[in-house]
Amino acid sequence: MAGNIFGTAVYYDADCNLNALKGKKITVLGYGSQGHAHALNLKDNGMDVTVGLREGSKSWQAAQAAGLPVKTTADAVKGADVVMVLIPDELQAETYEKDIAPNLKQGVYLAFAHGFNIHYKKIVPPADANIFMVAPKGPGHLVRRTFTEGSGVPSLVAVEQDPAGDTMEVAKAWAAGIGAGRAGILETTYRQETETDLFGEQAVLCGGVCALMQAGFETLVEAGYNPVNAYFEAIHEMKLIVDLIYEGGFQTMRNSISNTAEYGDYVTGPKIITDDTKAAMKNILADVQSGAFADEFLADYKGGFKKLYAEREKAANHECEKVGAELRGLMSWLKK
């Protein structure tokens, strides 16, 4: 039954009613990582699901082969009671203006798996639309795999507009329909999800961790140490530590490492993550909160992703990537 974790409402299958979706015409836009998982899981739960894709999409045949009806985005939106938008953030606003908005029925339930475009008002739906979010806290392949195994991935749910008065019930039904009710459905808001997600990606999960590992690799190599040793110590073994934290938090990780490593953790961590680092994180959060990052990202997209592609190429050519590729070739278990 429903619970509470540090002020956050948590729902399970018993708190959700799939009938809130049954009988409704459902459209899932996109058939990538999340799109295929949402569409197939709902289909397996007896829902009337159509996939909407752009003309010529390479996913068209894959969706059809899975037994799903496929239409162009505009045609899939026409007459749909519930539309879930699962295409990349940078494509959503222009797709909305061109293919979604002109074809939305009155009183539609319009949903997203990330709050980016709604929160920053890149998409402004009509006042009669019911706006909700279901955001699984895991990649689509995991959402699909766990569902087929009888479990699920926890998901966030949020409601932004609720003229019908039952949008949260529809959101919970969607979350339960993709398997999240087996693990936990946590209530949030569009603002909370969007800003914490972007900050986490930039300051910790991707930007912070990758920059930290790369700086550690460079420091060792510049000091004359062999790149192989540097790669193992600064990059490869990160997974061992993160897996332990994933399984049981910092305490489990610290119980599993040597006393030497634990002592170094306590005394050296604060020398790396200083007050200046925390101040930089606050500036990053401020850019996320103000929408400055969103505008910068979308401006780069509209300019042909020049910065994104340049940084991608630069990162791909870094020495640590070349060393890592050679070392991973020795690891037979990675090929399975």
- Annotated catalytic residue, options 36, 114, 236, 318: 114
Banded pLDDT at 1 (limits 50, 70, 90): low
Distance CA 28, CA 43 (A): 11
Q: What is the 3-state secondary structure (H, E, C) of 70-89?
A: EEEHHHHHCCCCEEEECCCH
- List residues bridging with 112 in a β-sheet: 85, 133
What pLDDT was estimated at residue 188?
A: 97
Percent of all residues in the chain with a pLDDT value above 90, rounded to a whole number: 96
What pLDDT was estimated at residue 336?
A: 58
Distance CA 211, CA 222 (A): 16
pLDDT per position as a tens digit, 92-110: 999 999 999 999 999 999 9
The pair of three-digit structure tokens given for residue 249, joined into one six-digit string: 């938090």
One-letter amino acid for residue 23 of the chain: G
Residue environment code for 52-75, b if the CB has 16+ CB neighbours within 10 A, otherwise e: bbbeebebbeebeeeebebbbbbe
Model's pTM, two decimal places? 0.93
pLDDT per position as a tens digit, 140-178: 999 999 999 999 999 999 999 999 999 999 999 999 999
- List residues bridging with 29 in a β-sheet: 52, 85
CB 11, CB 34: distance < 8 Å: no
Distance CA 29, CA 35 (A): 7
Which position has the token pair 């460079």?
218
List, in sequence order, the alpha helices (H) in the chain. Answer: 33-44, 60-65, 73-77, 89-95, 116-119, 140-149, 167-177, 190-199, 207-222, 227-231, 238-256, 259-272, 275-290, 292-302, 306-316, 319-328
Taking only Cα atoms into account, the Rg of the chain, rounded to an integer number of angstroms, comes to 22
Any catalytic annotation for residue 114?
yes
Q: Which of 64, 334, 80, 45 is nearest to 182 (CA)?
A: 45
What pLDDT was estimated at residue 99?
A: 98
User: What 3-state DSSP class applies to 48?
Assistant: strand
Cα angle 72, 57, 22 (rounded to 5 degrees) comes to 50
pLDDT per position as a tens digit, 198-217: 999 999 999 999 999 999 99
Q: Pairing relation of β-strands 25-29 and 48-53?
A: parallel
